[in-house]
Every structure is written in C-alpha cells, then in structure tokens.
C-alpha cells in the first residue's frame, strides 16, 4: 500500500476492512501506534506489543471529514456510525500505515464494513436486508470467522480519489488461494462457485457436477458448500493446513465412539503444483451453533455433552498431534494467562480466582484425547438438541481439564451441576480435575475478552464464562 501511495500520489486514501460483530458501517476516527495480535495473520505472524510505525506518534486522527462521511452514508439509508477503535491488528495497522504514508500531503481514513446479509456466522450481527436503500450495491466483504479460533480474514483496499494519477488497487490479505485445478478461490460469486466445483471435481470426478457456493471464508479456511450434503474445507495458510491434516488423521478413529456427529472427512485432497496443502471434503451438518441459544436452553443437553466428552477422553494414540497450548500443565500457561488478565471488567477478580484454581494438583494420568476448543461456537444444535461437535483443529492429547472448561463456558449453574455429576460418574474425575477445569475456563475467558473487539459472539462467551466462574463460592 505504501508503494502504491508513493507511486500514485493520491489526494485521498481510504482503506477498508471487515469488522465482524458490528451491524453498521463504521467510519474510524483514530489509529493507534500499537499492534497487539490475538491470532496469527494469514502468513502465520502474531506480533504483540509492537509499534505499527516505529518512531511514529502514539496515534493518528483521520484527516478525511469523518462526521460528514457518516452523515452522507447514513443519508443513503445505510446504517453508519463513528468509531474510536479500528481493532488491534490488521485493520488498525493498515490505517496507521496509510496515515503515516500520506503525511501532510494528502488525506486518509479507514472504513469498517459489517458482514453482508446472510454472510455472518451464527449469532453475529450483519447488515440486514432492507436496512439500505434499494439499488445500493451490497458488496459482500471477504472473510468469516472460524469458531473457536476466532479471527477474521480481511481484504484491504487502497482507493485513490481525485489523485494526480487516479487508480484503484486491491491488496489481498494473503496470496490468492488456488484450488487443485489452478482456479482462484477468490473473485466474484460465480467464479468462486466454479472454483468450488473444480476443487472436488478435479480429483473426485463423481463430485464434479454438484453445485457449490461459499459458506464461510475465514482466517484459516475457505468452506465451500458442495451440493446439499458436503462441504469442501480448503486451508488459506500453512498453519491451517496442518490443522486439517490433524483432523484427517484423528477423526476417523474418534467418530465411532461419540454419541454426536463429527465432521469425518469423506474425501481428502493432497498438495499439487497448483495448491500446496492438504484439504478435505466433509459432511455438511444442518443446525445452529450453540452460542446462538440462551445458556438456560443449553442446560437441556448438559448430560449428553458430558457423555460426549467422557467418550472422547480415552487414552490417546502415540501419534496424537502435539499442541503447546492445550492439554498441557497449567504451569506452562501461567505467564501468558496472567498477562491477559488486565484489560477487561473484573479482570483482577478473575486473576485471583485463576491463581487459586491453578494451584490444584497437576494431572498425573495418561494423556487422553481432547478436542481442545469445545466452546459453544464449536457445538451444533438442531431444534434445541445437541447434534454435532465440529472444528477439531486443536485436537491433541493431555489433561482433559482443558475440555472440561466448557462447563463454565456453556451452561448456567443448573446445567453445570448436571454436566459435572454425569461426567464424574462416568470417569471418576476428582475435585482437582474440576479446579483445573475452572482455571482453564478463566484463562480462555481472558483470551476472548482481551481481544474480541471484532467478534461479538466470542466476547459474549467470554463475559458469560467470567460470570459463571466468579459466581461460584471459593473452595
């Protein structure tokens, strides 16, 4: 972007980005000179506590007429508001770089757009149909979150207006994704559908005639609905490809023992000269994420959820995928969790409770299979009943207390009591196990609340978890 600004010498630069969790266009007013990434970007980088522009000011104020822009957009019937936070990583970084690059010779700003109609993951706000004037162009922003790993793919656009050499340049958030036949996964809707068909059809010709459409497009994977019963799961980056391979390795072994459905790959794709990573065709599950239901409704399947995890938590195979942040002794995670417990309401109380629970005796049993991320965005329901457990990218072996944090992340006290009673009856889990589980819940809540400004559903889970952890009397 800086190269384009230098080359084209624009009078005005407007950068744009997707903001999950918002239901209106946001005209950003300030960029802070700080990067504090909560998840890796598409290249795997995760900078923390670094300046966007070394030696730059603490912040920049947009030099475009933000109030007039807000009024003008709202005047076209499009929900729009001023915003004082462009996030803590990609979008804020782009905004800061644009402000620094133009200096005093031009004006610059940043605009966040919400999910387009029908594009938002379950439970998230979107720019609802009918909230903008008929005829206004509905540009479907690129990006969707992966539940549980919680991030957003962003597309940045540098737009020069009234420049000396006018130009429009699109800067992709990652190199264009190629499917196995070499077709790009990006582009307009029709091209994407053709690419989705080709992804499966090239090596699986019996699937070639099925219609395809983008179901989700996130940091980790592009999810293409293939016909009525299948989904093509294609990684966007190398780190995500390793997680897909973990699922391909483990899910066929685990599925038969669980009382709910899991997305066992029905076909697998391997790297080619056009596309460098593994990919999967998995079943499509109808339903809604559990996070979209009130916690009191989730209580109704607390015992089945306990039975599901008890069935999963069995001695793991020697080739279980490693995971340095799940299933490990809490002592290895203490510093990282403590560092996060300062930037949200009741953080001090949560840290004190975490310290007490983390002092519980460590796990001394054999490494057990664990899901790694069983919060309400990775659980599917239909008609209010528990039906599926998805997103096994963090699957590993270790202390099952990591998974049992779900008792505080998912239920009210009533449901949690049912869950704990049933799981304990099936496994013999002791008091130390449940103390460690509550410590893991506090740690996961801190991760969600410390950096969920662009993910309303995760923030809601984080707040619920804090409320549940601190609502219990100290032991």
Residues 266 and 299 in one domain: no
Residues 325 and 300 in one domain: yes
Q: Is 207 helix (H, G, I), strand (E, B) or coil?
A: helix
Encode the chain (475 residues) as per-residue pLDDT tens digits.
Answer: 888 888 788 889 999 988 877 888 999 999 888 888 767 766 667 787 788 888 888 888 999 888 888 888 887 788 888 888 888 888 888 998 898 888 766 889 999 998 776 666 655 666 654 444 333 333 222 223 333 333 333 333 333 333 332 232 332 333 333 334 333 333 323 333 343 444 454 556 777 788 888 887 666 788 889 999 999 998 988 888 999 999 999 999 999 999 999 999 999 988 888 788 999 999 999 999 999 999 999 999 999 999 999 999 999 999 999 999 999 999 999 999 998 898 788 999 999 999 999 999 999 999 999 999 999 999 999 999 999 999 999 999 999 999 999 999 999 999 999 999 999 999 999 999 999 999 999 999 999 887 666 678 888 999 999 999 999 987 7
204: its two tokens:
């699986």
Residues 377 and 315 in one domain: yes
332: its two tokens:
């290895």
pLDDT digits (tens, 9 = 90+) for 25-56: 999 999 888 888 767 766 667 787 788 888 88
pLDDT of residue 11: 83
Residues 444 and 296 in one domain: yes
The answer to whether residue 180 is domain-embedded is: no
Residues 300 and 160 in one domain: no
Phi-psi region at 77: left, alpha or beta (left = phi > 0; alpha = psi -120 to 50): left
Provide the H-helix boundaries in 221-358: 238-254, 295-298, 302-312, 334-340, 347-358
Rounded distance, CA 444 to CA 17, Å?
Answer: 27
Residues 202 and 332 in one domain: no
Residues 247 and 295 in one domain: no
Nearest to 288 by CA among 379, 407, 406: 379
Establish whether 91 is a catalytic residue: yes
Residues 363 and 443 in one domain: yes
For residue 200, what are the domain limits? 189-283
Domain at 294, CATH number: 3.90.1200.10
Rounded distance, CA 40 to CA 375, Å?
Answer: 20
Rounded distance, CA 30 to CA 60, Å?
Answer: 6
The answer to whether residue 178 is domain-embedded is: no
Nearest to 419 by CA among 295, 235, 255: 295
292: its two tokens:
């979209």
Rounded distance, CA 350 to CA 232, Å?
Answer: 40
Rounded distance, CA 451 to CA 99, Å?
Answer: 23
Residues 44 and 85 in one domain: yes
Q: What angle do CA 303, 459, 471 make, to 5 degrees?
A: 55
pLDDT of residue 219: 64
pLDDT of residue 121: 61
The answer to whether residue 177 is domain-embedded is: no
The answer to whether residue 193 is domain-embedded is: yes
Decide which of 268, 283, 298 is a domain's last residue.
283
Residues 131 and 57 in one domain: yes
The residue annotated as part of the active site, out of 52, 80, 91, 381, is 91
pLDDT of residue 195: 39
The answer to whether residue 9 is domain-embedded is: yes
CB 424 within 8 A of CB 445: no
Establish whether 80 is a catalytic residue: no
What are residue 388's DSSP bridge partners? 261, 380
Please count the other Cβ atoms lying within 10 Å of the Cβ belonging to residue 294. 8
The answer to whether residue 475 is domain-embedded is: no
Rounded distance, CA 449 to CA 216, Å?
Answer: 24
Cβ-in-10-Å burial (0-12, 13-18, 19+) of 332 comes to exposed
Decide which of 283, 305, 333 is a domain's last residue.
283
Domain at 94, CATH number: 3.40.630.20
CB 117 within 8 A of CB 50: no
Q: For the whole prediction, is pTM greater than 0.85?
A: no
Rounded distance, CA 101 to CA 376, Å?
Answer: 42
The residue annotated as part of the active site, out of 28, 197, 216, 307, is 28
The answer to whether residue 373 is domain-embedded is: yes
Rounded distance, CA 108 to CA 99, Å?
Answer: 6
Domain at 233, CATH number: 3.30.200.20
The answer to whether residue 412 is domain-embedded is: yes
What are residue 226's DSSP bridge partners? 212, 230
Q: Report helix, strand and coil shares of the chain as percent, to nearest 5.
A: 35, 20, 45
Residues 319 and 408 in one domain: yes
CB 143 within 8 A of CB 152: yes
- Cα dihedral 254, 255, 257, 259, rounded to 10, equals 140
Rounded distance, CA 187 to CA 198, Å?
Answer: 15
Domains: count for the chain: 3
Q: Give the orientation angle of helix 456-470 with respect to helix 431-450, to 10 degrees.
A: 140
Element at 458 (helix H, strand E): helix 456-470
Residues 276 and 394 in one domain: no
Decide which of 250, 283, 316 is a domain's last residue.
283
Q: Residues near 112 by Cβ (< 8 Å), separated by ≥ 6? A: 16, 17, 18, 19, 22, 25, 26, 28, 83, 86, 91
């Amino acid at each position: 972007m800086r190269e384009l600004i230098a080359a084209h010498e624009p009078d005005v630069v407007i950068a744009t980005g997707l903001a999950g969790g918002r239901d209106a266009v946001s005209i950003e007013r300030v960029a802070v000179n700080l990067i504090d990434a909560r998840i890796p970007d598409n290249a795997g980088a995760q900078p923390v506590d670094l300046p966007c522009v070394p030696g730059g000011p603490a912040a920049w104020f947009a030099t475009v007429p933000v109030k007039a822009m807000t009024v003008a957009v709202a005047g076209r019937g499009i929900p729009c508001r001023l915003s004082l936070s462009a996030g803590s990583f990609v979008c804020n970084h782009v905004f800061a770089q644009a402000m620094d690059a133009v200096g005093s010779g031009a004006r610059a700003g940043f605009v966040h757009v919400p999910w387009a109609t029908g594009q938002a993951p379950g439970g998230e706000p979107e720019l609802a149909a009918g909230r903008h004037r008929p005829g206004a162009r509905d540009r479907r922003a690129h990006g969707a979150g992966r539940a549980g790993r919680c991030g957003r793919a962003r597309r940045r656009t540098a737009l020069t207006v009234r420049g000396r050499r006018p130009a429009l340049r699109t800067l992709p958030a990652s190199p264009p994704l190629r499917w196995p036949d070499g077709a790009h996964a990006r582009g307009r809707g029709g091209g994407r559908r053709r690419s989705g068909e080709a992804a499966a059809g090239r090596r699986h010709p019996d699937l070639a005639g099925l219609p395809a459409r983008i179901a989700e497009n996130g940091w980790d994977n592009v999810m293409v609905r293939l016909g009525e019963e299948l989904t093509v799961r294609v990684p966007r980056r190398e780190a995500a490809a390793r997680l897909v391979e973990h699922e391909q390795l483990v899910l066929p072994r685990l599925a038969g023992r669980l009382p709910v459905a899991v997305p066992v790959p029905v076909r697998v794709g391997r790297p080619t000269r056009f596309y460098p990573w593994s990919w999967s065709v998995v079943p499509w599950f109808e339903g809604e994420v559990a996070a979209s239901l009130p916690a009191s409704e989730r209580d109704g399947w607390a015992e089945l959820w306990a039975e599901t995890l008890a069935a999963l938590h069995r001695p793991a195979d020697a080739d279980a995928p490693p995971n340095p942040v799940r299933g490990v002794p809490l002592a290895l995670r203490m510093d990282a969790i403590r560092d996060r417990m300062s930037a949200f309401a009741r953080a001090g109380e949560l840290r004190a409770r975490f310290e007490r629970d983390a002092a519980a005796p460590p796990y001394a049993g054999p490494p057990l299979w664990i899901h790694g991320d069983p919060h309400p965005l990775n659980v599917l329901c239909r008609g209010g009943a528990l039906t599926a457990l998805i997103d096994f990218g963090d699957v590993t072996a270790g202390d099952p207390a990591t998974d049992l944090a779900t008792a505080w992340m998912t239920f009210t006290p009533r449901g949690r009591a049912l869950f704990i009673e049933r799981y304990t009856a099936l496994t013999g889990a002791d008091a130390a196990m449940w103390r460690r589980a509550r410590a893991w819940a506090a740690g996961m809540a801190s991760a969600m609340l410390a950096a969920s400004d662009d993910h309303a559903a995760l923030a809601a889970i984080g707040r619920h978890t804090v409320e549940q952890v601190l609502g219990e009397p100290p032991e």
